[in-house]
Structure 1
């Protein structure tokens, strides 16, 4: 029997891939939006949020490659579309994580060791900022319940109260009838948006 032996993708990377898919769907809704509109992220407008998402993806790529998390200052061409920049960086991070863990090449050893940590934090970051982008764009699309439930389980284990400053606000109480997305968003310090519902 011939062919490349494929190793099982770690659960963290599989969850990250699902969260990245959600974030990329949110980014696809940006072209019709005003980049100066407000977002759920304090004083950030949509443009600032998109560039932060790009920077976060770059930082997580660095974590996956080196084991160190630092926020880079990436070069961006003048007039670059911030949604396109964010999309490209998210796709690069996704490729870095999946290629580091999905095969048995000897040169992926260190990356394979660092990838799960980058994927765990990255899944939460991309999902919540994907929600921020969708909310800023006025999208009614919501996160798949199974994805939101898995992300909430990961967030509860990773986001401790003393680690919130500078990353997430204090949790807020979700509505009594909150769906999985609303519970996740509330845990991460955002108020669930009214009127969002699952599309057909």
Structure 2
């Protein structure tokens, strides 16, 4: 679901658009794609994935190939027990959950930068928020670069609640 949501957004990441700023300070579209591919690869390493990407692939192709390799590795491994991710041991299902959090939240970042809609069902955004609330600890906010949670109204849309939890301002657009 998360990969299917981000790919139409990434289709717009061509030419000069890869230099557009994102809501992530210091990251343009190209740099954020590198970060996302790296994090997705780390999620895969927790399941023993070997990630191979077509040389000179566009951003969408690179994220798709990387994510699909990681998903295949997790299907083979399963989500029982614990896994090592980013230097900490966590339940394997939460290590895999990092994949959904990264794809949806950075999908939102790309959507803001590229002025594209991100189609994420409310139920999926709520599910990813529940994962994020278990994965993003006070310590990982500092070490992984998450800003403090941004307050939103109780009737905010699910995706807005998710991005606000990760420190983004849901209604603030990149200039």
Question: TM-score w.r.t. structure 2 length?
Answer: 0.78
Q: Cα offset for 1:37?
A: 0.3
Q: Which residue of 2 aligns with 1:182?
A: 160
Pick one of 43, 51, 54 that aligns with 2:37.
Answer: 54
Pick one of 170, 177, 182 that aligns with 2:148.
Answer: 170
Q: Cα offset for 1:80?
A: 4.3
Pick one of 44, 52, 55 that aligns with 2:27.
Answer: 44
Aligned residues: 161
Q: 1:24 and 2:2 equivalent?
A: no
* Higher strand residue share: 2
The 5-angstrom pairing of residues 32-181 of structure 1 reads 34-65=17-48, 77=55, 79-101=56-78, 113=81, 114=83, 115-167=92-144, 168-175=146-153, 177-181=155-159
Assess if the C-alpha contact under 8 Å between 1:182 and 1:192 holds in 2. Answer: yes
Matches of 1:132 and 1:54, distance apart in 2: 14
Structure 2 unmatched ranges of 5 or more:
84-91
Alpha-carbon RMSD across the aligned residues, in angstroms, is 2.7
Deviations 1:131-185 (A, max 9, x none): 1112211113342100111111121122122220132111111246410100110
Matches of 1:19 and 1:176, distance apart in 2: 24
Matches of 1:150 and 1:48, distance apart in 2: 27
Question: TM-score w.r.t. structure 1 length?
Answer: 0.69
Matches of 1:37 and 1:48, distance apart in 2: 10
Q: Which residue of 2 aligns with 1:7?
A: none
Structure 1 unmatched ranges of 5 or more:
1-17, 67-73, 102-110, 196-200
